[in-house]
């Protein structure tokens, strides 16, 4: 059935296989708000006579669409939610930049290599899901233009880097960039003042180091850096007072050593705190000038004072425990053709989570 939701009533119109004629069947134009054309095996979309300016949500997911007409997108001027996940799209129309009211964009499960630069014009965008595509890079100015973005999910792509401007996403709460080919992270991560969840796991042999600014994201609650080639954690991580979950397994860690890691999050932070205050720590890591830079920022934010104690988030002593991972289901994993990306080694390898309990 083709569901057309209206206010205050819901009307249903018959759906006929993959026929595009069902687009406007049974629709009362003046009251239309939500159009659901998902799972209709559509190969293409018509150029409807319907007034597209009255649609606030359009669901075209789970079809066989290879492109979205430029002219159609340009007329969706009041669209708030666009869901085109699990199609065969290789590109998004440039006219997506006309969707100035768009808040949620789901393009997961396609074959997109590049997002159009015009996406920078979607100033109201709050959630972008581009998981399971073939993205090689993100728009360079994404962090300068999409200042309201709260969730950015780009896992299971071919990204080599995140744009430097990513650090300017001050409203961002979740960044999921696992299962890519990331070589490094942007330096000025401390600008991500709202970030609570960061997942950069399973970039495997590509990701070998983390910037010191990672420990300046004071809002961070969950950090997953598992299954990379990281040998040393930045000492600044000791200052992440809100951090509750840290996953580091699958890395050839030397600092902190394995015996410290096995003791849990509190032991890891204690080890890193001692290293941060050690006079010799700068010689084994980054140049002293760089260390002075981020240590100066820690003092500025009153995270610690030269020889003082780190401020603890809980009023009584923390307890650690290993818990099983509680990953939420990956959004839009709707097509069997994407299941192959999970090998048995990835699915069944043990994952150690460190948890703070207050």
**pLDDT of 290:** 53
Q: By the 8 A CB rule, do 248 and 353 touch? A: no
Residue 33 has pLDDT above 60, yes or no: yes
Distance CA 117, CA 16 (A): 37
Distance CA 217, CA 126 (A): 20
- 3-state helix, strand, coil split of the chain in percent (to 5) is 25, 15, 60
Distant-in-sequence, close-in-space partners of 4: CB < 8 Å, separation ≥ 6: 10, 11, 12, 13, 26, 27, 32, 34, 35, 36
- Residue 223: phi and psi, rounded to 5, are -135, 120
Of 39-53, 176-190, 234-248, 269-283, the range with the lowest mean pLDDT is 269-283
Residue 3 has pLDDT above 50, yes or no: no
Q: How confident is the model at residue 46 (pLDDT cuts 50, 70, 90)?
A: confident
Distance CA 43, CA 176 (A): 31
Structure tokens that stand for 312 in this block: 């603890």
For the chain, the average pLDDT equals 79
Distance CA 68, CA 70 (A): 6
**pLDDT of 352:** 46
Structure tokens that stand for 127 in this block: 């959630």
Q: How confident is the model at residue 339 (pLDDT cuts 50, 70, 90)?
A: very low
Residue with tokens 């598992």: 226
Structure tokens that stand for 331 in this block: 């959004």
Percent of the chain with pLDDT over 70: 68
Of 82-91, 246-255, 344-353, the range with the lowest mean pLDDT is 344-353
Q: How confident is the model at residue 48 (pLDDT cuts 50, 70, 90)?
A: confident
Residue 26 has pLDDT above 50, yes or no: no
Q: How confident is the model at residue 29 (pLDDT cuts 50, 70, 90)?
A: very low
Question: Smallest Cα–Cα separation from 310: which of 246, 218, 231, 232?
Answer: 218
Q: By the 8 A CB rule, do 99 and 79 touch? A: yes
Residue 196 has pLDDT above 70, yes or no: yes
* Count of helix runs (H) and strand runs (E) in the chain: 7, 14
Top-confidence residue, 54 or 304: 54
DSSP 133: S
**pLDDT of 34:** 92
Over residues 206-221, the mean pLDDT reads 96
**pLDDT of 293:** 55
**pLDDT of 169:** 97
Distance CA 85, CA 131 (A): 9
Cα dihedral 54→72→151→247 (10° resolution): 140
**pLDDT of 337:** 43
- The most confident of 19-33, 103-117, 294-308, by mean pLDDT: 103-117
pLDDT tens column, 266-279: 999 999 999 988 76
Of 135-139, 163-167, 220-224, 317-321, the range with the lowest mean pLDDT is 317-321
Q: How confident is the model at residue 51 (pLDDT cuts 50, 70, 90)?
A: confident
Distance CA 40, CA 62 (A): 7
Residue 105 has pLDDT above 60, yes or no: yes
Residue 300 has pLDDT above 70, yes or no: no
């Amino acid at each position: 059935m083709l569901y057309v939701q209206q206010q205050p009533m819901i009307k249903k119109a018959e759906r006929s296989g993959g026929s595009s004629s069902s687009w406007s069947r049974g629709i009362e134009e003046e009251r239309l708000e939500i159009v659901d054309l998902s799972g209709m095996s559509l190969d293409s979309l018509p150029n409807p006579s319907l007034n597209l300016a009255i649609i606030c949500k359009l669901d075209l997911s789970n079809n066989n669409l290879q492109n979205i007409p430029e002219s159609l997108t340009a007329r969706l001027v009041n669209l708030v939610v666009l869901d085109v996940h699990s199609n065969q799209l290789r590109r998004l129309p440039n006219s997506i930049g006309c969707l100035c009211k768009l808040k949620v964009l789901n393009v997961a499960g396609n074959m997109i290599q590049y997002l159009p630069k015009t996406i920078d014009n979607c100033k109201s965008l709050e959630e972008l899901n581009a998981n399971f595509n073939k993205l090689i890079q993100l728009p360079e100015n994404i962090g300068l233009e999409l200042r309201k973005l709260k969730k950015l999910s780009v896992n299971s792509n071919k990204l080599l880097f995140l744009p430097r401007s990513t650090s300017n996403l001050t409203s961002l709460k979740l960044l999921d960039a696992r299962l890519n080919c990331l070589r490094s992270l942007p330096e000025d991560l401390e600008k991500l003042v709202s970030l609570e969840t960061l997942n950069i796991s399973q970039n495997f042999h590509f990701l070998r180091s983390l910037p010191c600014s990672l420990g300046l994201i004071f809002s961070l609650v969950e950090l997953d850096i598992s299954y990379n080639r990281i040998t040393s954690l930045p000492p600044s991580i000791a200052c992440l007072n809100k951090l509750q979950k840290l996953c580091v397994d699958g890395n050839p860690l030397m600092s902190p050593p394995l015996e410290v890691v096995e003791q849990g999050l509190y032991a890891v932070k204690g080890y890193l705190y001692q290293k941060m205050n050690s006079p010799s720590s700068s010689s084994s890591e980054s140049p002293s000038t760089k260390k002075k830079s981020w240590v100066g920022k820690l003092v500025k934010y009153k995270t610690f004072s030269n020889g003082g104690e780190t401020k603890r988030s809980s009023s009584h002593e923390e307890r650690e425990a290993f818990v099983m991972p509680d990953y939420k289901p990956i959004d839009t994993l709707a097509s069997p053709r994407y299941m192959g990306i999970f090998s048995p080694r990835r699915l069944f390898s043990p994952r150690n989570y460190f948890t703070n309990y207050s």
